[in-house]
Amino acid sequence: MLMRISVFKWAQRISLSAWIGIVLLTMHLVMAACATWLAPYVPTAIDTNNMYQSPSMLHVFGTDRYGRDILSRVIYGGQFALFISMVSAVLSVMIGSIIGVIAAYVGGFFDEVTMRVIDAIISIPGILLLLVIVTGLGTGTSVIIFAMVLSYMPGVVRVIRATAQEYVTRDFILAARLRGERVKNIVWVELMPNIRDVLLVEFAMRASWIVLSVSGLSFLGFGVNPPTPDWGLMINENRSVLVLSPWGTIFPMIAVATLVVSLNLVSDEVAKMFGIDRGVRR
C-alpha cells in the first residue's frame, strides 16, 4: 500500500511534457522490439503493382516507389536508429566520464594534455568528422558506432570533468587520499556515485543527438545499405518523388522527429529531477 502511494506521488510530480516524452519513447521502443509482430508486411517485399499508393485500409501509410509498405518499413526502421543510438550513447558516456573524472582528479600535465586533445576533436565539425571516419573505414555497424562515440564522447568529457572538479577538493576525497586509497578506488567509489545524476542527463541528451546523426548519415548514403528499412534511407529514397507521393518521406520524418522530441523531453525531466540546468551543462 505504501509503495503504491509513493509511486502515485512520484507520478504526480512528473510534468505533462515528460509524460508525453515517456509515452512516445515507449511507443518507439515497443515498435522496435516487436516489429516482427506489429508490421503488417515484410518491409523489403517489392510489389510493382502497388507503387506510390496513398494511405488506405490495405496500406495505412501507403507504399513507396517499389510498392513496399511504408508502415512496415517505418516500424522496422527504428531498430537500427535505436540500437546505434543506445549503444553509442552508453559508450560515449562511459568512456567520457572515466576520462573526465580521471582528468579532474589527477590534474596537472595529464589534465592539460587530455583537454587539449578533447578541444582538438571538438573543433572539427561533427558531420565532417563522421563522414571522414565512415568514408575511410566503411559503413558497417561497428564503424558507425565508433564514429558516433568519437564525435560525442569529447563533449561528455568536458561536462564530467567540470562536474568532478567540484568534488576533488571536498573533505571526503581528501580523507580517501589520506587513507592511502588508490586512484581507481577514489574514482569509482568516491567520485562516480556523486556525478551519476549528470551521467543520466548526458546519456539522454547524447542519445537524442545521435539519433539525428545516424539518420543524417543514412540520408547521405553512409548508413545501412538498401533495401534495409531505415528512416534516413527512406527519406533519401523517396525525396525525389515528394510531390508525386509524399508519404514515403513524411512518415519517416515524423518517426525521427517524435523519437528525438521524446528523448529531449525525458532528458529535460531527468535534469529537473536532479536540479541540473541543461543550458549550463552543455
144-165: burial string, b at 16+ Cβ within 10 Å, e else? bbbbbbbbbbbbbbbbbbebbb
- Summarize pLDDT for 70-112 with one digit per residue, the tens: 999 999 988 888 888 889 999 999 999 989 988 888 888 888 9
The pLDDT-based confidence of 13 (bands split at 50, 70, 90) is: low
Which of helix, strand or coil describes residue 69? strand
For residues 271-277, average pLDDT:
65
**What percent of the chain has a predicted confidence (pLDDT) above 70?**
92
Q: Which residue has the cell 506510390?
A: 52
Poorest-pLDDT segment among 10-19, 63-72, 128-137 = 10-19
Instruction: Tell me, yes or no, if the pTM score tops 0.85.
Output: no
**What percent of the chain has a predicted confidence (pLDDT) above 90?**
18
**In the predicted structure, residue 198 carries a pLDDT above the cut 90:** no
Cβ-contact 278, 268 below 8 angstroms: yes
The pLDDT-based confidence of 245 (bands split at 50, 70, 90) is: confident
Question: What is the distance of C-alpha 271 from the center of its chain?
Answer: 16
Q: For residue 154, what pLDDT is reported? A: 92
Cα torsion angle, 11, 15, 16, 22, sign: negative
For residues 126-131, average pLDDT:
86
**In the predicted structure, residue 30 carries a pLDDT above the cut 70:** yes
Which of helix, strand or coil describes residue 226? coil
Q: For residue 281, what pLDDT is reported? A: 43
Considering 14-23, 194-203, 209-218, 237-246, the range whose residues carry the highest mean pLDDT is 209-218
Q: For residue 11, what pLDDT is reported? A: 54
Residues in the chain: 282
pLDDT, averaged across the chain: 83
DSSP tally for the chain: helices H, then strands E: 13, 0
- Summarize pLDDT for 172-195 with one digit per residue, the tens: 777 877 777 777 777 777 787 778
What single DSSP character describes residue 14? S
Q: For residue 183, what pLDDT is reported? A: 72
- Summarize pLDDT for 33-44 with one digit per residue, the tens: 898 899 898 888
**In the predicted structure, residue 7 carries a pLDDT above the cut 70:** no
Q: For residue 80, what pLDDT is reported? A: 83
Q: For residue 236, what pLDDT is reported? A: 87
For residues 194-206, average pLDDT:
82
